[in-house]
Amino acid sequence: MPSELNLSSLKPAQKRIARKRVGRGMGSGKGRYAGRGIKGQKSRAGSHKMPAGFEGGQTKLFMRLPKLPGNTSKDAMPIGPFRTHTQGVNVRDLERVFDAGAEVTPESLKAKRLIRTTRIDVKILGHGDLTKKLTISTHGVSKSAREKIEGAGGTITLLREPKERKRKRHKRAPRVETEAETQVAEESEEAAEESAEPSADEPGAEAEPEEE
């Protein structure tokens, strides 16, 4: 029979392995240099707390590579307090919460707890199906959501017209014709003039008077 369980017979479920203590004499296996090697940056204290991407002091890789346009480029959305945000509400939520013929506004969406605040613009998204006729007034709507809402007989009114983003178009430099192209153009003009002059053999051509 197993011995009676008491405080003197308690043992851990698994064998405990003591951690390796470095710098505790040559006979410990981790003496002398304590596993850090001889000299160098990684043998010093604090060397393993270097930030990610550190390359020994030279310019980091992510700083050497070119950057793609982002939120700090000229044609991107403004950053900081001027960034525009929207709250998304899918048509499947409108189908689940509202009755047919209901009027959907930011205030009614907040009352139904589909959005948290009316201070942020609301955009209707097209995930799910909609079979009820609704009158919707929001700040934005996606293309698929508009198709589903109008397909169910509903109407959409935008509380704020979307702003058109104007992009700068680079003017192309005027094309310079080469000498060969200029010569070909002149020859084609001469040929067109010759074909336009009526010949004496044609019936419509007038005969030149003979000299006496």
- Tens of pLDDT, residue by residue over 160-192, are 876 666 666 767 767 766 777 788 888 888 888
**What's the pLDDT score for residue 212?**
52
Tell me whether residue 39 is in a domain. Answer: no
**What's the pLDDT score for residue 180?**
76
Tell me whether residue 150 is in a domain. Answer: yes
Tell me whether residue 193 is in a domain. Answer: no
Tell me whether residue 186 is in a domain. Answer: no
- 12: helix, coil or strand? coil
Give the predicted TM-score (pTM) of the model: 0.44
Tell me whether residue 14 is in a domain. Answer: no
Where residue 150 sits, what CATH number does that domain have?
3.100.10.10
Which token pair is 55?
């390359």
Q: Which residues of 40-72 are buried (b: 16+ CB within 10 A; e: fewer)?
A: eeeeeeeeeeeeeeeeeeeeeeeeeeeeeeeee
Domains in the chain, number: 1
Please give the residue that has the higher pLDDT: either 124 or 162: 124
Contact assessment for residue 113 and residue 98, using Cβ atoms and an 8 Å cutoff: no
Lowest-pLDDT range of 58-67, 120-129, 203-212: 203-212
Report the pLDDT averaged over residues 138-165: 89
**Range of the structural domain that residue 148 is part of:** 83-158
Tell me whether residue 205 is in a domain. Answer: no
Tell me whether residue 78 is in a domain. Answer: no
Tell me whether residue 89 is in a domain. Answer: yes
